[in-house]
Amino acid sequence: MLLEAKDIVKQYGDFYALKKANISVPKNSIYGLLGPNGAGKTSLMRIINQITAQDSGEIIFDNKKLQRNHIKDIGYLPEERGLYKKMNVKEQCLYLAQLKDMPYNEAKNRLNFWFDKLNITSLLSKRVEELSKGMAQKIQFITAIIHEPKLLIFDEPFSGFDPINASLIKHEILELHKNGTTIIFSTHRMESVEEICTHIGLINDAKTILEGPIDDVKSNFSDSSYEIICEDYEKLESSFSFKTKLHKKNKHIISINEDINFKNFMQDIISKNKVVSFQKKNPTVESIFIKAVQNG
């Protein structure tokens, strides 16, 4: 594991932001940190970044207890962006890179690389207050990754981006992961979680309620639902072996009735219908999220 949060407690007066929360983030994973608003996700991310401290519990980073010097190995893109509006873009990026222990010349080279890659070199001489929200987001993205950290933490990274730039940033996140960076990714966009995350953890009411590789979590929430596509558009009528849950054109979502032999079910379907395709219907991350939160 690159990072482990063990029994993290954070309390503000009588309010618990985190109540013995636990996550385990494997090396070279994209870990989706999910949860409803107010569940404790941002509190946990701020603790990992040493912006605030936990009241109890511990953070283990790269097999060592999290220490102040680990800050150079972590990059953070918060949901609430924090650029200095009056400051020159280039000076600001170099300043923030040097806070992460990057030598000036190395920071300058990396800065030029990323501004050229994202095609925004014209922004280097501008002040942040002169930029559109989307352009300022790109600058903030660069400041999070410029020092090539082992761990990147993105809190709603696509917020403020149009679809084209959101796709661009998603591509860069996947490239960083491909090159060995471990990523914690928090978002309310469940389709993004489906597309890029390898692992997920769900925090609700200040506690971790599920966690693991995304395929394993889906398997645990799987039921007896299947997707069947037929040649014609007629609805599959429920029978002794199955119930039709959803019908749209020639696509059907069905569930196998309890105590039915799978072979008998298949014979029942094929004998009455011209089946084009048949596959297990896995639950979506969104449906898992809703079900897990509702069940507490």
DSSP 107: H
Q: Write out pLDDT tens, residues 102-134.
A: 999 999 999 999 999 999 999 999 998 898 888
- The separation between CA 207 and the C-alpha centre of its own chain, rounded to angstroms, equals 18
CA distance 278 to 292: 27
CA distance 65 to 201: 21
Above 80 in pLDDT, residue 255?
no
Above 80 in pLDDT, residue 273?
no
- The separation between CA 67 and the C-alpha centre of its own chain, rounded to angstroms, equals 25
What is the overall mean pLDDT for the chain? 88
- 62 vs 295: which has the higher pLDDT: 62
SS3 286: helix
SS3 258: coil
Does residue 44 contact residue 21 with C-beta atoms inside 8 Å? yes
- Give start-end residues of each CATH 3.30.70 domain in the chain: 222-294
**Which among 55, 107, 91, 99 has a CA at the least distance from the CA of 74?**
99
CATH of 222-294, one of 3.90.380, 3.30.70, 2.60.40, 3.90.1570: 3.30.70
- 232 vs 14: which has the higher pLDDT: 14
% of the chain with per-residue pLDDT over 90: 54
Q: Helix 104-117 and helix 89-99: axis angle, to 10°?
A: 130
> Torsion over CA of 69, 73, 79 and 85, rounded to 10 degrees?
70
Q: Write out pLDDT tens, residues 135-144.
A: 888 999 999 9
Above 80 in pLDDT, residue 233?
no
Q: What is the pLDDT of residue 243?
A: 77
Greatest alpha-carbon pair distance for the chain in Å reads: 73
Does residue 39 contact residue 95 with C-beta atoms inside 8 Å? no
CA distance 45 to 62: 16
Q: Write out pLDDT tens, residues 162-190.
A: 888 889 999 999 999 999 999 999 988 88
- Give start-end residues of each CATH 3.40.50.300 domain in the chain: 3-219
Which CATH architecture group holds 3-219?
A: 3-Layer(aba) Sandwich (3.40)
